[in-house]
Structures are given as C-alpha cells and as structure tokens.
Structure 1
Amino acid sequence: FTLIDAVKNIANITLKIIGEGPIKEDLELKVRNEKITNVCFLGYKTGRELNEEVRKAMFVLCPSECYENNPRSIIESFALGKCVIGSRTGGIPELVRDNETGLTFERGSVEELRTKIFYLLNNRNDIVKMGEKARMLVEKEFNQEKYYKGLMEIYQNILLSK
C-alpha cells in the first residue's frame, strides 16, 4: 500500500492506477475505507487507451515491491517522454536514473516516495527535462537497429562456434 499511503491527502493531484492484479481489491477497499478521494482505478488498459492516459500524466510512478528485471511500463513511459519515480528494486534503478530520467526511492518507503512526489510537483521544469532524457534513452538503447545488431551477433557467434 506504499503508493496509496504516499499520495493520500496530497491536494490538487489525482493518482490514476492502471492495471489489474491480485491486490487490486485490497487497494480499492483501503481507498474506500479511508475515504481517500484523490485515487481512482482505471482498470486494465492497452494500446491507444493506455498511451493516452500516460500522455495526460504529469509523471509515472512504478512503486514495485517485488523484483522486476526490466519493467515494460517504464520503457513505455519513457518512450512517451515521461519521467518515472521508481522503487530501487530489480532492474528499475538501471532504467530510472536519479535526476536524469526520473527519481528512485527505497522500496516500501512511504515517506521517501512522498518526498519524491512533492519534489516533482514543486519542480515542474525538472519533470520536462527528465522526460526528455528518458525519451532519448529509449531512442538510443531500445531501438530496432540496436536490437537487430545484437541478435545478429548472437547468431554469428553460434554459427562460428560450430
């Protein structure tokens, strides 16, 4: 519940949670029971609908509490020019580079996440700058040409080793 606890009672923002998962009902119950008014659940989104929601966002939060190697949601957010606040777990810190493509926080730390959210809310120019760097990172590191070259090198090495 790190994310919900971090954003509750922050004025003038709405946290939109996209997706389904095993704890969705628990999160909805917490929001209802605690009468948290700045959180809404949009459910599962894909394609154009998902991209539109991300485009409308000021920034994206990825508060993973379990290991994720290379979260696609972060890469997709970067591709749309959004900076990300992500937990320091798994491969997230390799993508979310502090003060470059976003901000990181200690997994499970409500206070640190809340501090990072307030930082971005009070430094809107940094949101834009980090979003631009995030977009450039995706264009440089996750493009088709780089992927193709890497794949061809693997095939070449396999063929040469026979």
Structure 2
Amino acid sequence: MAYSDIQKTEFNRVTENLIEITWTYVNLLEEFPRLDEQDSMSWKQMFVAWANEFEELYGHTNWIESEKTYPEAVEEFAKEKILQWAGIRKYICVGKHIEGITLNPYEWLLEKGQDVKLFESEAEAKIYLKTNGYTDEDMEFLKFEEVWH
C-alpha cells in the first residue's frame, strides 16, 4: 500500500474531544474496573460518536464566558456517557457534617442494612426527607452528592 493511500487524521476540535473522552475513560477505569469488560472496538465507536455529539452540543460555546471550562465540560459529559453506557447509574446520597460541625466529615443517610441510602434524584431525596420530618431550613445544611453505582 502506498503512503498516499493512508488516511491522515487532522487535529481539530472533534479529535480534541476524542482525546479528552479517552482520558476520562482511562481515569474512570481505576474506580470502575468493570468498564474494561466491554470490547475495545465498541468503546472506540462510542468515543467517536460522543466526540461528535459533544461538538454538536458545545461547538459554539464561548469558553471564556462559560461557567465551566472546556476540560470540565467535556470530562463531565464523557463521564456521564461512559458510565451510563456501561450500565452504571447516577444516584444522589444525602449527608451532613457530624454533629453539625463543618470541620467534621460527612455522615451519610443509611438504609436499615447500614448501606448508604440512594435516591434517583435530589427531588426524590427531598420528598423522602420532608416525609420524615425535615424542614426546608434543615435541608439547607445537608449535602446532596452524586454517586455512581
């Protein structure tokens, strides 16, 4: 095969997105080793599709005026896409500082079996808390954190 027959890749915004998505995947592997159970060809195809999708959604973003930087936006986008595609879902857990002292670490709302209680959304967590005696003022001191499981 002659050199002129080889397709050359051009560095542009979509290839930059592709690189960022790949880095996000590599960083997530440590925390979620089951990501490696999918075949690499499927991942590659999804990375390309997501790089294009990110460009369609954010291609005209003025990153100087944006609330998020480009690396933050693409990492958040990629993390959500990667974990959802692997069947890992996002939940909300509720915590508060031990004894209400902000220097203390968080303690988390638990299920009866001592597992952290997970909610589908922050709204669902707040409804649960209200039905269990929490007021809006009480909830101002709680942390609603996203977790992937």
TM more than 0.5: no
Larger Rg: 2
TM-score (norm. length: structure 1) = 0.22
TM-score (norm. length: structure 2) = 0.24
Instruction: Flag the structure with more relative contact order, 1 or 2, with Cα contacts below 8 A and sequence separation at least 6.
Output: 2
